[in-house]
Amino acid sequence: MLVTLIKVGLVMHEYFPSKYFKYILIGALLVVVGKMLIHFIRGIAFPKTEWLINQYREAYERFLCPICEYPIRTGPRKYLFWTRRSVTKLKVPGDGSSQEESYTCPACGTGLFDKCSGCQSIRHALLPHCAHCGKKNEIEVSPSQS
């Protein structure tokens, strides 16, 4: 990777006058440093678990598996197809009533809806609270996810 960069740099140096080359280099450096800074600030603002729960929440809102983005096809959505973008335009037949049975993502095998240990209702397995009784579950951050 570094070798390619140096090669590209040398080629660019040949074709562009060094005055412009300097600006291009500075510009590229600024972009890289800026990106690192944003990454760093985000790390402070959202600790990993919170960030993860946020991702999960957004995925559940779109009826997509939080782990692999495979559509959560249950109830009236069983025969529909949607993506992250098209989910808001989706016309769901019936009342689109909420989840009533436990559900595992067929693509990656993650349990998405489970029985609550507090009230035996079906709850979001990857969100911290049960929607029915509010019982809190600890969300484990698996080390395989970065």
Which residues of this protein are in contact with Zn ion, per CB under 5 A? 65, 67-68, 70, 105, 107-108, 116, 118-119, 130, 132-133, 135
Pair of tokens at residue 111: 């349990």
- DSSP for 13-52 reads HHHS-HHHHHHHHHHHHHHHHHHHHHHHHHHHHS-HHHHH
Pair of tokens at residue 34: 């800026």
Q: How far apart are CB 30 and Zn ion at their closest, in Å?
A: 38
Tell me if residue 103 falls in helix, strand or coil. strand
* Residue closer to Zn ion (CB basis): 9 or 128: 128
Q: How far apart are CB 139 and Zn ion at their closest, in Å?
A: 15
Q: How far apart are CB 102 and Zn ion at their closest, in Å?
A: 13
* Residue closer to Zn ion (CB basis): 8 or 107: 107
Q: How far apart are CB 79 and Zn ion at their closest, in Å?
A: 19
* Residue closer to Zn ion (CB basis): 14 or 140: 140
Q: How far apart are CB 71 and Zn ion at their closest, in Å?
A: 9
* Residue closer to Zn ion (CB basis): 86 or 117: 117
**Taking the CB of residue 126, how many other CB atoms lie within 10 A of it?**
23
Q: Could you tell me the maximum CA-CA distance found in the chain, to the nearest angstrom?
A: 72
Whose tokens are 């944003």? That residue is 38
* Residue closer to Zn ion (CB basis): 13 or 102: 102
